[in-house]
């Protein structure tokens, strides 16, 4: 189905439950010189092609080999044994070291858990009411080994998020991460993730384009905006940041909070 560049409110409503071809933020290499052609009303429907360049392929891998060799020598000969890339992406570098150790710590049979997770013990508390009051006031968390294991799982989630989702190497690995943890992939091509935006040329000096979810911005303020095209993409930024990202952040905060409790 060929989707026109501009739709009425009724037409847009009818397409809410329809998966469309993605048209956002990518340009055909054959059309780079024509992306500003305001008369091309159907440029949104043109196929987005990619040319394979042997020279570019070889150049990329040659540069990659050069930098890898450079980083290896830096790790060998520098006094701190750290390469530039270890500090440019120190979060990823540290996550690669910490993640397998957290995973192994969870898997092994441990002999105890932090005292703040202790369950009621008549030898430590005057009575059960005193223990319950301490839990209510946040002085202890209670829950025993099971509660500690839940915290460890959230810490594991955070570091795995960094390696497999935030620092993703492929869509397959990111999708596998979401499925493993029972999450919806906010980058998946689905109705839940569908977003329609409208691109406008900004007529005010100093601004190039404006992207809005308002299909009639140019009609409301014609002196400021000129309609360019309609684009569809699939990304639920709210779910990404407020569900997945927030959970990861809480896991990192738990790692810092209980850092001194990683003993056995």
**Across the 264 residues of the chain, what is the mean pLDDT of every consecutive 10-residue run?**
73 90 56 41 47 74 87 90 86 94 93 84 82 82 89 97 87 94 95 93 86 91 92 93 97 96 85
Task: Give the pLDDT of residue 42.
Answer: 45
Structure tokens at 244: 């997945």
Task: Give the pLDDT of residue 163.
Answer: 95
> What is the pLDDT of the chain when averaged over all its residues?
84
For residue 3, give the DSSP letter: -
Task: Give the pLDDT of residue 120.
Answer: 80
d(CA 144, CA 80): 41
Task: Give the pLDDT of residue 4.
Answer: 60
Q: Bridge partners of 163? A: none
Enumerate the domain spans of the chain. Answer: 86-187+236-264, 192-234
d(CA 124, CA 145): 17
- In the numeric block, the tokens 């305001």 are attached to 38
Query: Burial level of 228, CB count in 10 A (0-12/13-18/19+)?
Result: buried
φ, ψ of residue 84 to 5 degrees: the values are -55, -40
Task: Give the pLDDT of residue 260.
Answer: 92
Task: Give the pLDDT of residue 126.
Answer: 82
Task: Give the pLDDT of residue 129.
Answer: 87
d(CA 175, CA 188): 8
Structure tokens at 29: 């290499």
pTM of the model: 0.75
Crossing angle, helix 246-257 and helix 144-160, to 10 degrees?
A: 120
CB 119 within 8 A of CB 187: no
């Amino acid at each position: 189905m060929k989707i026109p560049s501009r739709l009425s409110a009724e037409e847009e409503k009818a397409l809410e439950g329809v998966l469309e071809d993605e048209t956002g933020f990518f340009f055909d290499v054959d059309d780079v010189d024509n992306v500003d052609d305001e008369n091309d009303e159907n440029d949104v429907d043109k196929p987005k092609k990619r040319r394979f360049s042997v020279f570019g392929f070889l150049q990329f891998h040659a540069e990659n080999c050069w930098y890898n060799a450079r980083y290896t020598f830096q790790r060998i000969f520098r006094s701190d044994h750290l390469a530039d890339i270890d500090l440019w992406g120190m979060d990823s570098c540290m996550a690669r070291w910490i993640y397998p150790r957290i995973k192994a710590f969870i898997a092994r049979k441990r002999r105890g858990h932090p005292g703040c997770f202790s369950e009621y013990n008549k030898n430590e508390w005057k009575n059960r009411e005193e223990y319950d009051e301490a839990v209510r006031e946040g002085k202890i968390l209670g829950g025993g080994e099971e509660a500690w294991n839940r915290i460890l799982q959230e810490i594991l989630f955070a570091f795995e998020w960094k390696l497999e989702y935030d620092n993703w190497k492929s869509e397959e690995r990111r999708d596998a991460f979401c499925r493993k943890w029972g999450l919806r992939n906010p980058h998946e091509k689905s109705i839940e993730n569908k977003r329609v935006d409208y691109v406008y040329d900004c007529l005010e000096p100093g601004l190039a384009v404006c992207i809005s979810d308002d299909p009639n911005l140019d009609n409301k303020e014609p002196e400021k905006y000129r309609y360019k095209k309609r684009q569809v993409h699939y990304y639920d930024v709210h779910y990404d940041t407020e569900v997945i990202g927030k959970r990861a952040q809480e896991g990192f905060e738990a790692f810092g909070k209980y850092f001194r409790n990683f003993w056995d």
